[in-house]
Structure 1
Amino acid sequence: MFAVLKTGGKQYRVQAGDVLRVERLAAEAGEKVQFNEVLMVGGDSLVVGAPLVAGAGVQAEVIDQIKGEKVIHYVKRRRKHSSQRTKGHRQQLTLLRVTDILAEGADKSGVKAAIGSGTKVEVAESQPAAKKPAAKKAAPKAEAGDAAEKPKRAPRKKAAAKAEE
């Protein structure tokens, strides 16, 4: 039996026992996670979702949080100004082992859903509900009489000096 799942903006064709490197997930090593975005389940009968297969899921065990290969971006400009710049990047990845493919009943399995580490949903669930700060009192508005009390600005000295000449 195989399944096609979607995570991290990519699609993977998996079978039980496969080892995957996917975009970083919010899970520790040894935890069991479940992918609920299953696009297709194959085996005895092929089921294609529109866009997802209802009730299907892929369960996997997190092996480790790793970094991908280093990607080097090098830019060199030669005309008139010799400049060069090198940037490197290593993508954060999660190493998974697929343990089970569920064609039905994945929503009732009780396994933690696989959520990316940068999503706002995870941040909202991990922090307790914060109390809203009390509204600040508005500053008292100036009355019409207060504006008359302010002294007016004196004319500029330079303008006055030029007028005398």
Structure 2
Amino acid sequence: MFAVMKTGGKQYKVQAGDTLRVEKLAADAGETVQFNEILMLGGDSVTVGAPLVAGAAVQAEVIDQIKGDKVINFVKRRRKHSSQRTRGHRQQLTLLRVTEILASGADATGVKAAAGAGSVPAAAAAPKAKAKAAAAGADDLKKLSGVGPALEKKLHEAGVTSFAQIAAWTEADIAEMDEKLSFKGRIEREGWIDQAKDLAGN
């Protein structure tokens, strides 16, 4: 049985036991990863995806993180500039050994999905998602003196969404927010607490 899978913008035809090099994945040596973008399955019968084969997956063990062969790029500019430059590049790759091809049940395996090294981890994406959720139904914090869209976004990421929250800040809260938002003394200087009390009352 073989599968045609997609990763790193490239397609690979693989069988169990195959060793292949793919664009670098966010995984350590010894880990098992699962590729869920399967375009075709072959063997006794052929299944072609539209565009993917539902429930199919390829599981592989990470052998090592390696670098590809060096590629030399020579650039020459003629006439006026008359300059030349040589640059070398070695692509970062992940060496894998295919362990299993699943025709169905990929969702229930519990194996970590393969992700490129440049993918944004869930933990890094969390503050943005939190800020987006906070913005929905929140007070317009830009009404406070010195608060613009960028600062309002930072406040949302810190969990501050209403005038009532700011109005209830203690000295310890103010010191903590000064540290978090990197504008020491601004809260007291701009009079945010008094402004927030008035705005919360309205």
TM-score by length of 2: 0.63
Structure 1 runs of 4+ with >3 Å offset:
125-131, 133-140
Report the equivalent of 2:62: 62
Q: Deviations over 1:65-86 (max 9, x none)?
A: 0000111111123324431111
Question: Which 5+ residue runs of structure 1 have no aligned equivalent?
Answer: 141-165
Letter in 2 for 1:76: K
Residue aligning to 1:6: 6
What's 1:107 paired with? 107
Matched with 1:77 is 77
Separation in 2 of the partners of 1:79 and 1:26? 45
Following superposition, the deviation at residue 132 of structure 1 comes to: 1.9
Residue 23 (1) aligns with residue 48 (2): no
Distance 1:45 1:125 in 2: 42
Q: CA deviation at 1:124?
A: 2.5
Distance in 2 of aligned mates of 1:114 and 1:126 = 17
| SS in structure 2 of the partner of residue 112 of structure 1 | coil
Q: For each residue in 1:106-162, what CA deviation from the matched residue of structure 2 results, as whole angstroms up to 9, or x when unmatched? A: 110111100001012xx224677587235876948xxxxxxxxxxxxxxxxxxxxxx
CA deviation string 1:6-39 (max 9, x = no partner): 0000000000000010000000000000000000
1:26 and 1:45 map into 2 onto residues whose CA distance is 33
- How many pairs are equivalent? 138
Structure with bigger RCO (C-alpha 8 Å, 6+ apart): 1
1:132 aligns to what?
157
Partner SS, residue 107 of structure 2: helix
CA distance in 2, matches of 1:99, 1:14: 10
2:69 partner SS: strand
In the alignment, the residues of structure 1 paired with residue 58 and residue 9 of structure 2 have an alpha-carbon distance, to the nearest angstrom, of 16
Q: How far, CA to CA, are the matches of 1:82 and 1:47 in structure 2?
A: 56
The CA distance in 2 between the partners of 1:95 and 1:119, in whole Å, is 18
Paired-residue identity, %: 71
C-alpha displacement of 1:57: 0.3
Instruction: Decide which moves more: 54-63 or 83-92.
Output: 83-92
Q: Secondary structure at the match of 1:28?
A: coil
Higher helix fraction: Structure 1 or Structure 2?
Answer: 2
* Inter-partner Cα distance in structure 1 for 2:126 and 2:51: 34
Extract unaligned runs of 5+ from structure 2.
Answer: 131-155, 162-185, 192-202
Moved more, 126-135 or 88-97: 126-135
